[in-house]
Structure formats: structure tokens, C-alpha cells
Amino acid sequence: MRINLVSDTVTKPTQEMLRAMFRAEVGDDVYKQDPTVIDLEAKVAEMFGMEAGLFFPSGTMANQTAIKLHTQPGEQLIADKWAHVYNYEGGGASFNSGVSCCLLDGNRGMITAEQVAGAINDPEFYHSPLTSLVCVENTTNKGGGACYDFEEFKKIRKVCDANNLKFHLDGARIWNALVATNDVPQEYGKLFDTISVCLSKGLGAPIGSVLLADKATIHRALRVRKILGGGMRQVGYLAAAGIFALENNIDRLAEDHRRAKEIGAVLQKKNWVAKVEPIETNILIFSLHPQISEAVVMEKLHQKGIGISSMGHGKLRIVTHLDYREVMHTYVLETLEKMVI
């Protein structure tokens, strides 16, 4: 038995999803003539109460497009020090948009309105870059799947409005956050200028993200996507997977959350584990005691057919997902309970 808990990006389409993809009606999306892509974009936009959406091959490209839309070279965005747009997008903010990042020391990847307000450069002080954008992530990847309190988003929005800043949400795992908090997606559309949502993580689609905004912004995004090489042809086959995922795989995310918490409960009892971070969704991060080697722990699990990932500095990560079934979960719990380091 091979069990991959490295990430929720490792899922493969189910037979039902593949049938939906096979049946998709397609056209040329570069000409905006793929009916299935059009349906997906409209469906996601409606879910979040926003005017329009644009399908992208990756969340990174969707985020980078949003940054390009909201900034000019030489300006600055504000984000948490663990933000995906800074740590895991290849330096795209500087390469694609020519902007710098003001990184805040938030809590598990989450920043506050007070922190944002304190980080904004005086627009009249031309020695410093002009602050133009705030980026937040929900759930937080490096923060262990933490979910923002929606009231904090409202407070940050007020700071943005008062300082003429745009507000972007990296919603790579927004579906997990919505299931965990019972927040209403339409309320997000009232706060953010742009939202990127991913279909290929917890929802189990093989590829794809959608950028949401007003119609004028999405029209501009179409040009940026083209420049970045994101124009695709008969991509309705992939959009069909996204539609299937939205219609069938959102509610089941609660199972991933339950399993992550149950694994965490076992780890908390192990004498080789120093700390298990709070678990809200499907990402579990735990720290080893200083004398315990990450490599030893990972190798022992590997010998049992279980793969997890290292975050360095004695931290390890486990991510539950669609392909992690209950029989696998039982095996993982039993393996961890018996494991001696």
C-alpha cells in the first residue's frame, strides 16, 4: 500500500470525473468559444457573487495576473512572510510585475488590519515604494491550513479603502476554509477586488484555477494571461473536471479535515513529537524534538508505504485529500500509534 500525504495536489480524477471530461462540449477558448469553460467561469463567479471569471492553468498564474493588474513596476504589495505569492511562485511578483513585497510577521500566515495599516508607506514620501496592494491567503498553506476570521477581512478592506489599496485573495484552498468556517462565499465577493480559487487541490480536479473580479478587470486579465502563456485551446475537457468537482467534492472536504485532526491526536501522544500545530482543515504540521532527525522519521514512514513532506527546521507536514481513503487512514493511525523513534 502506497499512501501519499505529501500534498492534496497528488489526487487523480475519479472515473466519474473522467466520464464528465470525456463528454465535455469544447471549442477554442483563446477565441472565448469553449462553452464548458464559459460555464465554469460563470458558475464560479456566481458562487462568489462576482461579475466574471477567467480560467487559468495554475493558481500561480492566476495570482501573478492579479498582482500585475493591481500594481505598477516599482510599487509594493503587503503580505504575510509565509505568503504563497512570495515564497512559492518563483519570484514572480518581481519578475512579472516589478514590485517588491513588504512582509508582515503574522500568526500562522494570517495578518491583521492593524499590521496592514502600520506597513503602508506614505504615498507622498517618494523615497519608498508606493504601497498599492494587499494579498492574503485562505487557508494558509505554510501556516498549516489556518482559516481567517472573516471579520478580519472586513477590517483589512476598510484599511484598503482608506488608503486606495487593492485587495487580493489567494484562495488556493478557499473551499476548505468555507467548509471549516461555514462562511458564505458571496460575502467574499463583496470584499475583494480579485479572488483566485483552485480546483486541483482538495476538489480533486487535475488542473486549473479561476480568477474572479468585475468584468472590466477580467477583460484586462485576458491580455495578461495571454502574455504569460496561459491561453489554451480545447480546455473545456479540463473545465468539465472543475465543474464536476464543484458539484460533487466540496462537502466531502469535511472528511479530510476530520482525518487530519485524528492523525494530529495520535501524534500529540508520541514522545518524539514536540508540537502539533492547531489543525483546522486538511493540513497538519508537527515539530520534532531537536534530537530527532526528520530523515529518520520520514524513512520509517516510507518503509511502511507512507509519504509525507519536510518543511525543514524539524517540521514535517501531512496533507489529507480525496484519494486518501478510510482504509488508508486506519492504517496510518495504526502505524503512527506503533511507531517508535
| pLDDT (average), residues 118-131 | 97
- Residues 126, 266, single domain; the answer is no
Tell me the C-alpha distance between 261 and 114, whole Å.
Answer: 31
Full domain range(s) for residue 99 = 15-248
Statement to judge: residues 137 and 257 lie in one domain? no
- Residues 221 and 269 grouped into a single domain: no
Strand partners, 171: 197
Place of cell 501519499: 4
> At residue 222, does pLDDT exceed 70?
yes
Q: Mean pLDDT score of the chain, rounded to an integer?
A: 97
Same domain, 70 and 145: yes
185/43 same-domain check: yes
Say if CB 41 and CB 258 are below 8 A apart: no
Quote the pLDDT of residue 1: 64
Q: Which tens digits make up the pLDDT trace of 59-87?
A: 999 999 999 999 999 999 999 999 999 99
Rounded CA-CA distance 148/188 in Å is 12
Q: pLDDT at position 191, please?
A: 97
- Band the pLDDT of 117: cuts 50, 70, 90: very high
User: What share of the chain has pLDDT > 70, as a percent?
Assistant: 100
Instruction: Look at residue 85 and tell me if it is in a domain.
Output: yes
**Could you give the CA distance from residue 177 to residue 148 in angstroms, rounded to a whole number?**
8
Residue 106 vs residues 57, 70, 278: alpha-carbon distances, Å:
30, 23, 15
Q: Please check whether residues 120 and 242 belong to one and the same domain.
A: yes
Mean pLDDT, rounded, for 124-153: 98
Using pLDDT thresholds of 50, 70 and 90, give the confidence band for residue 330: very high
- Residue 300: per-residue pLDDT: 96
Q: Distance between CA 263 and CA 38 in Å, rounded?
A: 40
| CATH code of the domain containing 259 | 3.90.1150.10
- The cell for 72 is 505598477
What value does the mean pLDDT take over residues 147-164? 98
pLDDT of residue 242: 98
Q: What pTM does this model have?
A: 0.96
Structural domain total, the chain: 2
Note the pLDDT of residue 301.
97
Q: Are residues 199 and 275 in the same domain?
A: no
Query: Where among 248, 270, 288 does a domain terminate?
Result: 248
Which of 248, 277, 301 is the last residue before a domain boundary? 248
Helix ranges (DSSP H) in the chain: 15-22, 35-47, 59-70, 84-87, 92-97, 113-119, 150-162, 174-181, 185-191, 215-227, 236-248, 253-267, 294-303, 326-338
Q: Directed axis angle between helix 253-267 and helix 326-338, to 10°?
A: 10
Residue 206 falls inside a structural domain:
yes
Residues composing the chain: 341
Q: Which of 248, 278, 296 is the last residue of a domain?
A: 248
Whether the bond into 139 is cis, omega within 30 of 0: yes
> 79: exposed, middle or buried (C-beta count within 10 Å: 0-12, 13-18, 19+)?
buried
